[in-house]
Structure 1
Amino acid sequence: MVGSIVSAIYLINAIFALITILIKPRDVAAIWAWLLVLFALPVVGFVLYLFFGRGLTDKKKFYLRQSDLKELENFQNFRDDTIEHYDSQTNEVEKQAFVDFFSSLNQMPLTRKNELTLLTDGQEKLTSLLNDIEEAQHSIHIEYYAFVTDEIGNQVLRLLEKKAAQGVQVRLLYDAFGSHGTKAKDFNQLIANGGEAQTFLTSQEALLRFRLNYHDHRKIVVIDGKIGYTGGFNIANQYVYTTKKFGYWRDTHIRIFGAATSLLQLRFLMDWNVSVSEEKKVGYHLDYFFKKVDENNEQHGSADIQLVSSGPNNEREQIKLAFIKLITSAKKRIWIQTPYLVLDESVIAALKIASASGVHVKIMIPNKPDHPFIYRATQYYARQLIKENIEILVYEAGFLHAKTLIMDDEICMVGSANQDIRSYRLNFETSAVIYDHEFLEQLSNKFLEDEENCSTMTTETVKEMSTWLLFKQQISRLLSPIL
């Protein structure tokens, strides 16, 4: 009797598994990964799939795409007043090819004369951010995957409350799932002082709608339309303090003064307007965007910057295409820092091509997990890549969370996107594409400094891995398309 019931459950499970997975077009690797979960964990697998496997509805994707197109159209109305800082034509043939490619991904122009500051320490980034917020006169727009109301988060929040009370327009957008422990009531005083706080669209009623897999992973701050921040740091204690779990948190962020802040502002307004009710949508205002340089707003920067954004509402996977373009275009080197190395076949192929072409490929990963399954998958892909003459460096001085890519001596990328399938397909991400020799040298020097705190994964170290560890890596790899 019990055997018959179990057999019936498995049969029903198999039928529903096939129907559920195959009814909607999806990546083949993801299909097999979900089938593995559904067959290995009857009933439980369905619960997991209900919450983490269902994609955004076609209606939601259409809404997000149309909203972005509308905002891009609105943005064109403000470019005439800042035209000297937007110029998609260069005098360099190779650079022009990259500019055209990145422009085609998001319709984002090339911005000129940006002043960049590299921030690689949590306290350094926090201090810089707080100083700029303190000086804000008109608007403060903040978007974070994790805005946690712990000691650091409350320090930032108290200052935002103060600036809102002074009449500065403060808008805070956050991902509810990334901001563990943060509650809507934590922002009551900010709202009472005239500010606004909002969860990102995909984390609104996500539990009721059975869609927990799509996160706003961006980190964007724009102050008075002049100063912008983006990169890997979030707002929480662990990003500033040395903790027992992670040790020192090693990350990379950039502070921008210049026209590229208008691109960050545009991205913020896109995300804000799609997440709020009609009456809370923000109309475009020239004060939100970088203006012409005048006597009181002199600009001394040399960096040209474009912005690349992507999300599950667009099947082009723009961030991944940006990575592949740089990897396959390299002539001398590709240096990558990423906390997660969970690659799909197209990126693996690009890395193999680069290495086989004589390009020096180095990838730096952390020595410890913040997500166990993802870290085991990272180890799996790392040991596969060393077979392709790709150097894998393991950071030993804390937790490496930086998301950077350096191509030759020409271009680099800094942003929120990891080298993993989640960043390629599931998360909403933003990265800056930077053309500037001086900044690239700074980023390269920091990479070399980090390398001094690294061990190297070799065939010998792989041989020392236990059978149980290798088994966990293999299982995690099978699940990697849905991690």
Structure 2
Amino acid sequence: MHPGVDFWTVFSLIFLVTAIPVAIMIILEKRSPFKTAAWVLALILLPVFGVVFYLFFGQEYRKKKLFSRKGLKSLNVYRKLSFRQIRQFEHSLDKLNPTARGKENIIRLLLKNSNALLTTGNELQILNNGEETFTAIFGAIKAARHHVHLEYYILDNDKIGNQLKDLLIEKRREGVEVRMIVDDVGSWGLGKKYMTELREKGVEIYSFMEVRFPRLTSQVNYRNHRKIVVVDGKIGFTGGLNIADRYLRGLKRIGPWHDTHLQITGDAVNCLQVVFAADWFFVVNENLNGENYFPPLKEYPGTPVQISASGPDSDWDSIGQAFFAALGSAKSKIYIVTPYLMPPLEIIYALKTAALSNVDVRILMPEKSDSIIPRWSSFSYIEELLEAGVRVFFFQSGFIHSKYLVVDDVFSSIGTTNLDFRSLETNFEVNAFVYEEAFNADLATLFKNDLKNSYEIKLDEWKQRSWRFKLRESLAHLVSPLL
């Protein structure tokens, strides 16, 4: 028999017993047509590799309730409070100024889809780079008297990582409780020695969802991208920065690293603590309760904030839904900063609809990136947005990793969520949603200052890019729902 026949026979058998059954499973899951088509195409073109890739990265666990919070006492308390706010929603709105009440649809949505309490007694500070962020976080930790809780996607065994290690050991020596969660994939290079040294000194540090056989295929795709610091239940931090030298010094091939973080003082810290407590319960099976961790809500006058977490542990894509609602309700402006631009179809639709409705829609993104395929995939979405009137800007002074959204004069959001499929649909994320004109104006000023270090992409010029450029972005576009 001709060798070619043997090859195609074997190939056909492999296709029949691997790709076709998996393709049927994917179709029965009833995901978005875009994502389903991408997975089926991958299986057709690369049947064996596509099956392996799906087993590692494609399985959907939100509906299967793999990440259960059943038994978590602190979360149940805040669920009851959120239900009370829903019942007394008009009373909750009385705490807001009339302008903020215009976003009551988003407030109500976050109450229902993620039990995100509307807290008013808050003070916020925008931290605009690594130096400001690490100075503030380290200062808060140094002043800790009862506990320090940290949760990060990336913790590196480098200069800043060791400074943090030494500080945590010092606080533990003083009798302060120290708990830390690091993502097992994001912090893969941390090393056992680093964690062992912390544990020997009394610091409780755990990896989130260790990627080990035989559990590898069920967990590797669901990563904890949250960045949370809570000190004494009174001061909290979240945003785009992890613990690594690159966030201070940048990277040689892409230049300085630009990022944004948020410092919170007030009742919203309790809500940030709930997110940490839920993840701690999942990893350690220990409940954190009591006023030392959750001081009584004071409801003082201040900045209105909702803390929303999303991921496989929630029933809804809560942050993505809030983004969609905010974009759909925009009247005058939408400012977005994201390091990766791979939005789901509904977000693209909302952006284009807003721009066509004469809303001033601007997106700031990096021209250089720390990841090749997401860079080209991000480029693939630009032309259709430009055609609708969305203004897109390339940041020029290094790599911008900030993640925030400004809508009109009163609504803004800052946190860990990128404008891409992975953040909005798969990863564990957390964002602060803010309803105040002064904070909105500060974030808008930061955006406009960053625009000074950017250049605007014009549609006519963008269409002139080479066919090689277009081919690379088109190929990357096919896999963007899978990244």
| Distance in 2 of aligned mates of 1:397 and 1:300 | 40
Q: Alpha carbon RMSD of aligned pairs, Å? A: 2.2
2:77 matched residue in structure 1 = 74
1:422 matched residue in structure 2 = 422
1:286 matched residue in structure 2 = 291
- Alignment check: 8 A CA contact 1:258 1:290 kept: no
2:258 matched residue in structure 1 = 250
Deviates more, 1:192-201 or 1:373-382: 192-201
| Distance in 2 of aligned mates of 1:214 and 1:55 | 9
**What TM-score results when the alignment is normalised by the length of structure 2?**
0.91
Give the letter for the 1:437 counterpart: E
1:174-323 correspondence runs (5 A): 174-201=182-209, 203-205=210-212, 208-211=215-218, 212-276=220-284, 278=285, 281-291=286-296, 302-314=302-314, 316-323=316-323
1:64 matched residue in structure 2 = 68
1:343 to partner: Cα distance: 1.5
Matched, 1:408 2:415: no
Q: CA distance change for structure 1 residues 252 and 387 in 2, over 3 Å: closer, same or farther?
A: same
2:449 matched residue in structure 1 = 449
1:5 matched residue in structure 2 = 6
Q: CA distance change for structure 1 residues 205 and 233 in 2, over 3 Å: closer, same or farther?
A: same
SS in 2 for 1:447: helix
| Distance in 2 of aligned mates of 1:204 and 1:58 | 21
1:94 to partner: Cα distance: 2.0
2:22 matched residue in structure 1 = 20
1:165 matched residue in structure 2 = 173
SS in 1 for 2:70: helix
Deviates more, 1:265-274 or 1:179-188: 179-188
Deviates more, 1:318-327 or 1:23-32: 23-32
Q: CA distance change for structure 1 residues 43 and 78 in 2, over 3 Å: closer, same or farther?
A: closer
Q: Alpha-carbon deviations, 1:156-192, whole Å to 9, x = none?
A: 1110111112111100001011113112331222222
Give the letter for the 2:229 counterpart: V
1:334-483 correspondence runs (5 A): 334-483=334-483
Q: Alpha-carbon deviations, 1:72-99, whole Å to 9, x = none?
A: 21346899xxxxxxx7333644243332
1:237 to partner: Cα distance: 0.8
1:126 to partner: Cα distance: 0.6
SS in 2 for 1:320: helix
Give the letter for the 1:40 counterpart: L
Q: CA distance change for structure 1 residues 180 and 209 in 2, over 3 Å: closer, same or farther?
A: closer
1:465 to partner: Cα distance: 1.4
Percent of counterpart pairs with the same letter? 34
Q: Alpha-carbon deviations, 1:346-393, whole Å to 9, x = none?
A: 111111221121111001110112221111111110122000000001
Q: Alpha-carbon deviations, 1:311-357, whole Å to 9, x = none?
A: 13445211110100100101000000001110121111111221121
SS in 2 for 1:215: coil
Q: Which runs of 5+ in 1 are unaligned?
A: 80-86, 294-298
Give the letter for the 2:68 counterpart: L
2:330 matched residue in structure 1 = 330
Q: CA distance change for structure 1 residues 57 and 341 in 2, over 3 Å: closer, same or farther?
A: closer
Q: Alpha-carbon deviations, 1:417-451, whole Å to 9, x = none?
A: 01101111110111100112221111111100000
| Distance in 2 of aligned mates of 1:359 and 1:230 | 29
1:125 matched residue in structure 2 = 133
Report the count of equivalent residues: 465
1:120 to partner: Cα distance: 1.1
| Distance in 2 of aligned mates of 1:64 and 1:213 | 17
Q: CA distance change for structure 1 residues 75 and 321 in 2, over 3 Å: closer, same or farther?
A: closer
1:50 matched residue in structure 2 = 55
Give the letter for the 1:448 counterpart: K
- Alignment check: 8 A CA contact 1:13 1:39 kept: no
SS in 2 for 1:334: strand
| Distance in 2 of aligned mates of 1:55 and 1:119 | 35
Question: Which among 130, 136, 143 is matched to residue 135 of structure 1?
Answer: 143
1:84 matched residue in structure 2 = none
- Alignment check: 8 A CA contact 1:13 1:38 kept: no
SS in 1 for 2:188: coil
Give the letter for the 1:260 counterpart: A
- Alignment check: 8 A CA contact 2:120 2:300 kept: no
Deviates more, 1:370-379 or 1:21-30: 21-30
Q: CA distance change for structure 1 residues 130 and 318 in 2, over 3 Å: closer, same or farther?
A: same
1:67 to partner: Cα distance: 5.4
1:204 to partner: Cα distance: 4.5
Give the letter for the 1:7 counterpart: W
| Distance in 2 of aligned mates of 1:180 and 1:333 | 40
Deviates more, 1:189-198 or 1:45-54: 45-54
1:238 to partner: Cα distance: 0.6
| Distance in 2 of aligned mates of 1:301 and 1:448 | 29
